[in-house]
Amino acid sequence: MTFQSLSYFLVVYEERSITEAAKRLFISQQSLSVHIQRLEETCGTKLFIRRPVFRPTYAGDRLAVAAREILRVKKEILAEIKEIDAGQKGKMSLGFTGFLAGDHLPELLRQFNQQYPGIEVTAVTSPSLQLEEQTLDGRLDFYIGSTARKNGEMVEIPLIETGLVVAVREQVLKENTDFTDEKIRDAEIHGIGLEEIRQIPLIVPYRGGGRVREILDRHIKANKIDTMIRLETHHTIIVSACQKGIGAGLIYSVTPVDDRNLDDRICRFPIKNLDYTIHTCICYRQDHFLTSHEEAFIRLTKAYFEKMMHHVRT
């Protein structure tokens, strides 16, 4: 039993197909079949049922759990041994929760690559619960997302608290409401109720796209707010529609909205009595050895969000 045979086994386990696994590994089906047969001989039992449907046996399921842990420990040991190389070469796998990824992941990767061009980075985007599971079973080194459920097994480094705001062009706001400059300044600090902008069409996330729309619908119903919803769409389109003055968009408080090329500006208001806060952290296993380049990425990420939040506040 070798590390290679366990790696090959896990690919077959994930693909549920020798053919697809061989394609993924860039080796022949015959060669991969030989590896699996030898591993089964070593284990003394079948790891896969071939017919009528290719699927793992119970022994295969158990070996998959053990193999992931063995390969994770191998990776940790090798990373620690190679730390003397000062982090000039290596690999890093990270996860990023979806609502932050589109706005911030590309820039973070660009900045990191400038400092560590020799580090191969693999990044995935998924909901935080899935990222936590992938981190716990060793598929990710760490992830950036909401607070971990299994916090007894995870280290959490706080990053930001994310809420929801209404974003609307100042011209649209003044044309459709009684908001003055003074009232706008006050509302940017203390927030507004959605009923105060009921004359302005809302641009909101589509139903089924996550918790935000569910919370918004409950808030509107509970407070009996008469609103006009003009567009139900994806987060990035909400931002674009706000820039074009189509209406008032419901966005995350950490989402940047560029108004440098506009004649007016984009106003951002917290929403009164809307209970929605995400505590975003950098999370990794307690027994995970942080390489120097992983520590550098964490420092860069913290500095990036601190700068971003300062810009949002000012």
Please check whether residue 268 is in contact with residue 257, taking contact to mean a CB–CB distance below 8 angstroms: yes
Give percent above pLDDT 70 in the chain.
95
Task: Record the pTM.
Answer: 0.60
Please give the average per-residue pLDDT across 168-176, as a whole number: 94
- Model pLDDT, residue 88: 63
Per-residue pLDDT tens over the stretch 250-268: 998 888 888 888 899 999 9
Please give the average per-residue pLDDT across 151-179, as a whole number: 90
Please give the average per-residue pLDDT across 174-184, as a whole number: 94
- Model pLDDT, residue 207: 83
- Model pLDDT, residue 53: 85
Q: How many CB atoms lie within 10 A of CB 270?
A: 16
3-class SS string, 241-288: HHHCCCCEEEEECCCCCCCCCCCCCEEEEEECCCCCCEEEEEEEECCC
Assess whether pLDDT exceeds 60 at residue 217. Answer: yes
Domains, in order of start, for the chain: 3-79 (1.10.10.10), 88-160+278-313 (3.40.190.10), 164-270 (3.40.190.10)
Give percent above pLDDT 90 in the chain.
46
- Model pLDDT, residue 45: 92
Please check whether residue 95 is in contact with residue 126, taking contact to mean a CB–CB distance below 8 angstroms: yes
233 three-state secondary structure: strand
Cα 33 to chain centroid, rounded:
36
- Model pLDDT, residue 84: 47
Per-residue pLDDT tens over the stretch 96-123: 987 778 778 899 999 999 988 888 899 9
Assess whether pLDDT exceeds 90 at residue 192. Answer: yes
Per-residue pLDDT tens over the stretch 281-311: 999 998 888 888 899 999 999 999 888 776 6
* Cα–Cα distances in angstroms (integers) from residue 230 to residues 203, 209, 248, 282, 314, in the given order: 6, 17, 9, 36, 30
Nearest of 51, 77, 71, 53 to residue 9 by alpha carbon = 71
- Model pLDDT, residue 290: 87
More confident residue, 156 or 162: 156
Helix then strand then coil, in percent of the chain rounded to 5, is: 50, 20, 30
Indicate the helix (H) or strand (E) that contains 182.
helix 181-190
Per-residue pLDDT tens over the stretch 65-90: 999 999 988 888 887 777 645 556 77
Cα 139 to chain centroid, rounded:
15
